[in-house]
Amino acid sequence: MDWMNFPAFAVAAMICGLVGLILIYSGKKSLIWPGIALNVAGIVILLVFITTLWVHLDRPPLKTLGETRLWYSFFLFAIGFLVFMRWKYQWFLAFSLIMSGIFLLVNYLHPETYSKTLMPALQSPWFIPHVIVYILSYALLAGSCLVSVKGLYLVFTGKSGTEVIGLADNLVYIGFSLLTLGLLFGALWAKTAWGHYWTWDPKETWAFLTWLSYLIYIHFRLFQAYKTKTALWILSLAFIILLICWFGINYLPSAQNSVHVYGS
Amino acid sequence: MLSLIIEVLSRGQGIAKLAFPLNIFIGLALIAIIIIIGTQFRRQAVVRWLSSIPAAVSSISLFAFLVLLQGFIPQNHPAKPGLLTLLGLDHIKNSWIFALSGIYLLISLGSVILRKSIPFRKKNLPFLLNHLGLWIAIAAGSLGSGDLMKLNIYLQEGGSFTSFAYAGDNTAHTLPFSIRLTDFNIDNFPPDLVLVDAVTNTITDGNMLPLTEASSGKMQVFRDWQVTINEFINNAFYIEDNYIRKDSSGAAPAVRISALNKKSGQVTAGWVSCGSTRVQNSILQLGADYFIAMTFPEVQKYSSEVIIRRAGVETDTTEIEVNRPYRISGWRLYQMSYDEEKGKWSEYSILEAVNDPWLPAVYLGIFLMICGAVYLFWTGSGTKIK
């Protein structure tokens, strides 16, 4: 099995996922279990492709960007499904399925990136978990930011905003736990790659800042549960800090020597 | 305020790094303070406040604000000390204000840990994992930073055993082992042939043709041209209008190609090379608008083959590469650098030796936090929503 077979597997997995999702969304009890079964089938199809690719390449397919995107798709799909089973959040399943589909589509449209090079520092078993938990976490926190904007709009129109903040809380807690894991995995990786777990590299500084911002939100919510408006503002600002950490860092004067700025 | 005054009084020199045993005493003192105020004075309003959520929010906010400044102001810019230096803002992580805000954070965090752990309840366990883990990681990481040793070892290929290593300020240290470099290796990714727009000088989108010894005879279409590889030489020198194979220092890859214009039937042929400091580079012009060029080979992997000898212990031969450090008697050896100008012909390698006695404590903190984060992921906020 190699990349020639990829489109067939990707389409099959996505069809299973989508049909499964529609069945689950239909709300009919008799259709939920077939929906779940189809989701499992979709995940298994991706897993089968990865496994056979692994055998074909005679090495773990963790090397190129295309290969890492394949894993993203798989994990997004699988985690979305697991969280759905645990929490019964249908939107989460839909959200992660769309993300997974986007990664599969990018892989289909840009096959030439399969041979892109990875610099030595990135060639590590930590690469995948570090990046995957961060991508998932950023996705969830982006969701919480959308909720906060909606909440602020509700406040603006004279409503309380409390009806959406519970959803924001849940997104933040899950996103924050992944953010914590990403940060800690990064620290453990840094120890292996650069000799120290924390060097106040600009990217690290901003990642830590992002983490602290959501920490403030969580604690603020715990003692000022009724100050919804302030909490929503904190949440929106925290996402701006996250965006600076993700993209903005490349433009900051303080980050010109960062080891995290890749490519020239 | 207090810390700003100290910072100004000390002329913006910041805090000297705490080394053993002073950092141990400070750590123990911190724990003692937390325990004493948490047990003896737990009814006092100030102490109750320290372990409250508002105290947590204020201490995290102060800490975050300082990290934010650090995120915007370039740190450790030497020379001309100005107002920033005086206030400690260009060395925030070593400034008094940062240290005191850290202590405030640790005392507040420590107080709440103590309050939640006495009496111990099972339902508080995840809380304790997160908070205690953070406390340990921050305390051990910051107190231990003074004991961290990062030294560079300079090794010449085929040189003799050495146990000298140098700190950032060039002071020499003797390591408890000695090391010798037998071979330094670099593997490169194969370079690519690309089509460059001669007007904008940018690589045109799309096709690349990777070059390896095995790619002779391979063809690739670039827009209107069909390019065929006639001969690829990994290590070549430019001698009298020709690239000739020669495996010695400074050589560059070169490839002889022919390009057929599919519209006009015209054939252009010649050498293409990315060149090096000792080899001239070449491109192949295709009409007025485009030319074919070779990208520089990118480093895939670099590693040092070394022999490590320690008194009373048998000698070990090993390979040290990026992301694969070698551990020996409390030290970790990292592949750090090499002669970048010479690239794969580098004759020396620089290793970094790191000793961090506080690492196990930091790892304990990280491990507790990972457990706490996994639990948090599983339970979420506990809020029920539709």
Contacts of residue B43, defined as CB under 8 A and 6 or more positions apart, other chains included, come to none
Read off the tokens for A12. 């099959």
* Residue A115, pLDDT above cutoff 50: no
In a mutagenesis test of the A interface, which of B322, B378, B379 is the best target, namely the one with the most A β-carbons within 10 Å? B322
Query: What sign has the CA pseudo-torsion B31, B36, B41, B46?
Result: negative
Inter-chain touch B53–A208, beta carbons under 8 Å: no
- Asked if A120 and B321 come within 8 Å (Cβ–Cβ), the reply is yes
Residue B315 · residue B307 · CB < 8 Å: yes
For B137-165, what is the mean pLDDT?
A: 92
ipTM: 0.86
Residue B331 dihedral angles phi and psi, to the nearest 5°? -105, 155
| pLDDT tens-digit series, residues A46-63 | 999 999 988 877 666 766
CA angle in degrees (0–180, nearest 5) for A110-A114-A116: 105
CB-based contact B54 A222, cutoff 8 Å: no
Q: Do A219 and B57 touch (CB under 8 A)?
A: yes
Taking CB atoms within 8 Å and a gap of at least 24, the contacts of B273-277 are B273/B236, B273/B238, B273/B243, B274/B191, B275/B238, B276/B250, B276/B251, B276/B252, B276/B343, B277/B250, B277/B341, B277/B342
CA distance A133 to A72: 10
Flag if A219 and B60 touch (Cβ within 8 Å): yes
Contacts of A163 in chain B (CB under 8 A): none
* Whether B370 and A181 lie within 8 Å, measured CB to CB: yes
Residue B238: strand pairing partners: B243
> Does B124 have pLDDT greater than 60?
yes
Sign of the CA dihedral A173, A176, A178, A181? Answer: negative
- Residue B246 pLDDT > 60: yes
Q: Which amino acid is at B291?
A: F
Residue type, position A129, single letter: P
Closest chain A CA to residue B55: A219
pLDDT at B85 over 80: no
Q: What pLDDT, on a 0 to 100 scale, did the predictor assign at position A262?
A: 56
Judged on CB neighbours under 10 Å (0-12, 13-18, 19+), B108 is buried
Give the contacts of A151 (CB within 8 A, at least 6 positions apart).
A161, A164, A165, A168, A228, A232
Residues in contact with A37: Cβ distance below 8 Å, sequence separation at least 6, in sequence order: A20
In this prediction, residue A254 has a pLDDT band, given cuts at 50, 70 and 90, of low
Copy the structure tokens of residue B373. 């984060």
Please tell me the predicted confidence (pLDDT) of residue B311.
81
Alpha helices in chain B (DSSP H): 2-9, 22-39, 45-50, 53-72, 83-87, 96-117, 125-144, 359-379
Whether residues A209 and B298 touch (CB distance < 8 A) is answered with no
Which pair of structure tokens corresponds to residue B269?
Answer: 């042929």
Reported as a single tens digit per residue, the pLDDT across A175-220 is: 999 999 999 999 999 999 999 999 888 889 999 999 999 999 999 9
DSSP for residue B161: -
- Looking at chain B from residue 40 to 79, which residues have their Cβ under 8 Å from any Cβ of chain A? 52-54, 56-57, 60-61, 63-64, 67-68, 70-75
* Tokens matching residue A137: 């976490």
Q: Which of residues 144-163 of B touch A (CB under 8 A)?
A: 148, 150
- Nearest CA among B299, B295, B281, B294 for reference residue B345: B299
- Give the Cα separation of A89 and B298 in Å (integer): 45
pLDDT at B12 over 60: no
Residue with tokens 């102490």: B47
- The continuous run of DSSP H or E covering B294 comes out as strand B290-294
Alpha carbons within 13 angstroms on the beta-carbon side of residue B65 total 8
* Alpha helix (H) residue ranges in B214-341: none
pTM recorded for the entire structure: 0.81
Q: What is the pLDDT of residue B350?
A: 95
Residue B289, token pair as written in the block:
């608008």
CB-CB under 8 Å, B376 with A176 = yes
Residue B275 structure tokens:
């060149």
Which is more confidently placed, B9 or B104?
B104
Tell me how far apart the terminal alpha carbons of chain B are, to the nearest angstrom.
Answer: 48
CB contact under 8 A, A121 and B323: yes
B267-273/B252-261 β-pairing: antiparallel
Q: Which of A118, A167, A209 to mutate to test binding with chain B, by most B CBs within 10 Å of its CB?
A: A209
Distance CA A21, CA A83 (A): 14
Taking a C-beta distance cutoff of 8 angstroms, is the pair B353, B149 a contact? yes
Indicate the pLDDT class of residue B368, thresholds 50, 70 and 90: very high
Sequence ranges of the domains in chain B? 2-148+359-379, 150-187+300-355, 190-297
According to the model, what pLDDT value does residue A9 have? 94
pLDDT of residue A86: 74
- H or E segment and range at residue A196: none
Closest-CA distance, A240 to chain B, in angstroms, reads 13
Please report the pLDDT score of residue A264 as a whole number: 35
What is the DSSP pairing of strand B326-328 with strand B284-286? unpaired
B93 touches chain A (CB under 8 A): yes
Is A262 exposed, middle or buried (CB count within 10 Å of its CB: 0-12, 13-18, 19+)? Answer: exposed
Could you write out the DSSP letters of every residue in A37-53? HHHHHHHHHHHHHHHHH
Contact B71 A112 (CB under 8 A): no
Residue listed under structure tokens 């490349």: A250
The secondary element (H helix, E strand) that includes residue B215 is none
Spatial distance between the Cα atoms of A18 and B273, rounded to a whole number of angstroms: 50
| CA-based nearest residue to B336, from B323, B353, B351, B321 | B351
| Beta-carbon pairs below 8 A across chains A and B | 133
Opening angle at CA B76, ends B72 and B77, nearest 5: 90
Contacts of B72 in chain A (CB under 8 A): 252, 254
Mean pLDDT of chain A: 84
Selecting from B63, B210, B323 the residue whose C-beta is nearest the C-beta of A123 gives B323
Question: In chain B, what percentage of residues exceed pLDDT 90?
Answer: 46
The SS3 call for residue B217 is: coil
Judge whether B272 and B255 are in contact, CB under 8 Å: yes
pLDDT at B2 over 60: no
Nearest CA-CA partner of A77 in A25, A12, A158: A12
CB A116 within 8 A of CB A88: no
Taking residues A131-141, what's their average pLDDT?
82
Chain B, window 196-255: residues with a beta carbon less than 8 angstroms from a chain A beta carbon: 206-208, 210
For residue A136, pLDDT beyond 90: no
